[in-house]
Structure 1
């Protein structure tokens, strides 16, 4: 990383040279205009500088105490990091994949880049060398350092683990406690050897000046998908990118994805085009330069490395990399210059949060909206079921078919009159066959009542479940949640539960009618009655017998015979009957509502366990973005 001597090029390959133009790295002002420089021109420093001053590292040579403003800025960043870290996303629902990518991206940059530089202003400048497969990144890194610190070869991808070269005085900066804590690492001993995939190799060498580190990253277009994420992780933590691509790969989409990330974040960057053939060289450089300009990357420093076989010991033997080394030596030569490079990248990252955090919030909102749609479907489905059941229990619609037929049988048999007889009058003793027949008629009416109410509740619940399932399956990713809800243990027990509830409801009515008859002394003194039959008479009345008979049509023709209400009024009186009826209806509605609440539990449980963000998660992210703007 020291400045090269002005040795002539004796290899015939020519040094790495600058193509295109851009603002000088030592100036805050842009160049006056584009235009190619002569080949071999030593001026190779062209970093653009812009942006307001914010609390940032002051450079390795400056050890300043944090100001109160820095403390507040750090607190705001910590709060933002915590909110993003605590976010959860529901698998497969809209926004999940995009949200997790954004979450991991912003969280990693806050943790690995922003907060360390706010807390410790003297952190070494990290230069990341990244780029295409076979571009010669490792050879370039060895050449820039001046000794072999990383392994090169013909195997693709060669760099299966990143190698970080730094001065021995700085190696502790890059320990697990300070630099990407989640990443395992090993310290290199002796000759450079590759580490295991996913492991950072720390190469301490006196060839590196203090305060500067050089990182050889995995290929951004590697056939191994994990290498893409690995490369992105290190680029997110770097102060300066040196992006290397080849004359045959520079137009690849993956290359431009990374370059555009650097553009959008205003990252300090240099671009190296390697393996440039002599034939058609100028045309190729002009085309690549035009692509950089068209993609908003005109200010980036640009270098070209000719196609050469002048490599020994896994580094260039000629002055091929001298101009790149000179550029980096100027960038890292003084604390003020290092501070300028790191400040630009730092400000660019902070500026990028203005769009990246709201975009994350929008993905959270997408999840919340999907959850809201699904939750509303559950609420609406079972609210409609309550309405249908409540209407069906009182409008006489159940008094048809088997139920009205069983009622007519009981009424025609004289059971109603026999159940209400003056006290002291002996009832005619019925034979066993007649008693059995009477019991069968009453039991049949009880079953018909139970079956009618059961059918109403079950059909209403099934309709609610079907409507909820339809809405959920219309939500992308909602089908799996619907299947999970419908397959939960305990589903399918509705029929058994409703039968139990109706049986208990009938017993409660029998107790109410008995208590009401006993307290009405005139009734108790003059009349005795069969509580089971009176209970059935009251249920027929509650189910809307009078409304059915007065509504006309087929139901009116069926609902003939003695009026349940007239019989009951004569027994209890109008006021007492209204009280008993209201309590009985309330009892049944309460029991049915409990059934409906149990029926919706699988849907509510599936939603609750899906991991959908809370309703206020997006609002908190927007507020955190605002707080960050205020604090900077």
Structure 2
């Protein structure tokens, strides 16, 4: 349904006048309501160029939808809201009071004078004044001087030194059907008036300008300059009212000085004329929405493009990091000098290598096996620590590489925001490495426990220790001792591997291989865990490839409507 489509149902819902329903249908309200939900759900998590501006635009769009469009579309019969806005000391409250011929809003030299917004409404229009920012933020005053079909609001200063006043003024302006912008001969060239007027034009609002306190000698020059500025901004149709400088005064202005504004307000009086203003402003606001949404779509898609580039960098780092981390384990150097030194110490002090083998079978009493198992306990702990160090180092190196690629020279946009860092990550890595190392040690115990019954995790076709060798080896070292030698051999201790070969035969490498492979797999997990800490920040709906899809649907709907 377009803005000009008639729907009989519209005239029956919510008391909407059929003539107005012909111009603005409830389908428009539904589309804008859906748009509001989608805009509210937008997130721009990556600090890329333009993200801050896009977030500010998103906040303004939400304000426009919440404070003007949706309330207006829901209640078209409410009076047209005319907001007097402007800079500190522009004379808004004096003009407001002068139009209504009464001291309704505070006016004077004390700043800010408008501490509490005041909205004047004709008594017969009070019941139809829409609920929203106006009724919530402003004091409502019934006054016979307000033309029927309009509500006249005196807003706080846009540049008030009180932040709450500035915020309130912004909300009230977003809810306005028409801006009556008040400036002065001394301040019309300031940036603030034109920034405010650009905002009004951007959102399609109707605008009128009051140039206050203009000296007679400067009238022609200032008026000509102001008209030129308005033409530059495409505001040639905006009414311009000039109030001469009357010097220091208190109370109301002479009625003749505000008569032009009063006639203009009266011209809009009455339900039908005021609705014309409402509909014109709504059409302007709806026409402006596609550009706003299109800009938001671009911002969302820019976020997705940045996330894809970050993922690409991570996908390059991870395989390289895995290769480097696994190379030491596959080469049999993961244990370093500590494991080798510990084994040599036990050989020298506890003579753990002194075993008797006859016909391929170890000859040793169980008592000797218990003693060797206890003696090998320090080597077992050293092997566990070596595995833990290896896993933690793999994670740390991956973190360093990720940080270098994501936050170093030539890094992609927003890389520094997702690059791994912080003590908490290091602590988590250490805890994880300790758990994995303990699990790896337990895997060695499992392999030894399965010797002789086919449960050692080897390839079914691989040679296994002779059945007659296993009982003797167990008597000589105990299961824990054999597992310790197996762990040390998997970490690269050749002496431990030779001792295992002495008691279990030449197939010891087939026992070492699955344990070494298990540690390789855990190293890959260590690298993946570091990458995951970064990838998780990118695996959110806001950075998905289709994150802007629903906004594009709303954009198509808006373009059909307008």
TM range (shorter): 0.7 to 0.9
Matching residue of 1:523? 466
Rounded Cα–Cα distance in structure 2 between residues aligned with 1:391 and 1:299: 76
Rounded Cα–Cα distance in structure 1 between residues aligned with 2:51 and 2:541: 10
| Cα deviations by residue, 1:129-160 (Å, 9 ceiling, x for unpaired) | 11121111111112223333322111122112
**Match of residue 253, structure 1, among 183, 191, 211:** 191
Rounded Cα–Cα distance in structure 2 between residues aligned with 1:364 and 1:276: 47
Gaps of 5+ in 1: 1-50, 186-198, 546-558
CA contact (8 A) 2:147 2:266 kept: no
Matched, 1:584 2:515: yes
Matching residue of 1:623? 553
CA contact (8 A) 1:125 1:338 kept: yes
Distance 1:340 1:564, change over 3 A: farther
| Cα deviations by residue, 1:203-222 (Å, 9 ceiling, x for unpaired) | 11122232111111111222
Rounded Cα–Cα distance in structure 2 between residues aligned with 1:152 and 1:385: 71
Rounded Cα–Cα distance in structure 2 between residues aligned with 1:99 and 1:409: 67
Higher helix share: 2
Taking the TM superposition and a 5 Å limit, the aligned residue runs for 1:266-415 are: 266-309=204-247, 314-330=251-267, 332-333=268-269, 335=271, 337-368=273-304, 384-398=320-334, 400-404=336-340
**Match of residue 506, structure 1, among 444, 450, 454:** 444
Rounded Cα–Cα distance in structure 2 between residues aligned with 1:443 and 1:134: 86
Distance 1:272 1:66, change over 3 A: closer
CA contact (8 A) 2:466 2:505 kept: no
CA contact (8 A) 1:165 1:203 kept: yes
Matching residue of 2:120? 165
1:235 Cα deviation (Å)?
Answer: 1.8
Q: TM-score, normalised by structure 1?
A: 0.71
Matching residue of 1:110? 65
Distance 1:117 1:298, change over 3 A: same
Distance 1:204 1:54, change over 3 A: farther
Matching residue of 1:463? 397
| Structure with larger RCO (C-alpha < 8 A, sep 6+) | 1
Give the match's secondary structure for 2:25. Answer: helix
Rounded Cα–Cα distance in structure 2 between residues aligned with 1:126 and 1:496: 68
1:587 Cα deviation (Å)?
Answer: 4.0
Give the match's secondary structure for 1:507. Answer: helix
Give the match's secondary structure for 2:468. Answer: helix
| Cα deviations by residue, 1:293-338 (Å, 9 ceiling, x for unpaired) | 22332321112111014966x32124001112112222x1455543
1:61 Cα deviation (Å)?
Answer: 9.7
| Cα deviations by residue, 1:92-115 (Å, 9 ceiling, x for unpaired) | 776664344323321222222222
1:414 Cα deviation (Å)?
Answer: 8.4
**Match of residue 81, structure 2, among 105, 116, 126:** 126
Give the match's secondary structure for 1:172. Answer: helix
Distance 1:446 1:100, change over 3 A: same
**Match of residue 177, structure 2, among 235, 239, 243:** 239
Give the match's secondary structure for 1:393. Answer: helix
Distance 1:521 1:253, change over 3 A: closer
Rounded Cα–Cα distance in structure 2 between residues aligned with 1:278 and 1:167: 35
Rounded Cα–Cα distance in structure 1 between residues aligned with 2:451 and 2:66: 72
Matching residue of 1:139? 94
Number of residue pairs matched?
A: 541
CA contact (8 A) 1:265 1:352 kept: yes
Rounded Cα–Cα distance in structure 2 between residues aligned with 1:125 and 1:469: 57
Rounded Cα–Cα distance in structure 1 between residues aligned with 2:396 and 2:356: 39
Give the match's secondary structure for 2:209. Answer: strand
Rounded Cα–Cα distance in structure 2 between residues aligned with 1:77 and 1:622: 13
Distance 1:226 1:67, change over 3 A: same
Distance 1:142 1:521, change over 3 A: closer
Distance 1:408 1:492, change over 3 A: closer
Rounded Cα–Cα distance in structure 1 between residues aligned with 2:464 and 2:55: 74
1:250 Cα deviation (Å)?
Answer: 0.8
**Match of residue 211, structure 1, among 146, 149, 158:** 149
Taking the TM superposition and a 5 Å limit, the aligned residue runs for 1:540-619 are: 542-543=490-491, 570=505, 578=510, 580=511, 583-585=514-516, 587-589=518-520, 591-592=522-523, 616-619=546-549
Give the match's secondary structure for 1:275. Answer: strand
